[in-house]
Amino acid sequence: MIVLDASVLIALGNANDVHHLRAREVLMACLDEHLLLHPLTKAEVLVGPVRRGSGELKERELLAMGVEEWAPIEGSGLRLAEIRVSTGLKMPDCCVLDAALATGSQLATFDEELAKAAAHFGLALQNRSWVEQQL
């Protein structure tokens, strides 16, 4: 299983994004994987399409890609607060990290701070080679 950060999906949807090609590579490498999104991450990914009137289309695209919305388990509020305090990450990144920790999943992100925190918690990074170049 791989938990996706919004940075990967946003880059995938924007050909002008500096990470667009890398996002395509990441997702091509994940074709046989179970892909998960935290609900807050999904909302972040959908903001732009909703502004343009294509939110439902984007949601269908995510489903067609096999991306599933992960349902946080009981106790997520406390876990998120603990992650926030221990890492200093913004709450959306804490949500991504919590989903990966709770499911024992790898993480895919282009966010350096999130990648550092994931490594600190011992999570495997799907796009490790890119992350190592940045750190």
* Known binding-site residue numbers for Mg(2+): 5, 93
Considering only CA atoms, which of 35, 36, 64, 59 is closest in space to residue 47? 59
Question: What residue numbers does the annotated binding site cover?
Answer: 5, 93
Considering only CA atoms, which of 71, 68, 72, 70 is closest in space to residue 35? 68
> Where do runs of H (alpha helix) occur along the chain?
6-12, 20-29, 39-51, 55-64, 76-87, 91-103, 112-120, 128-134
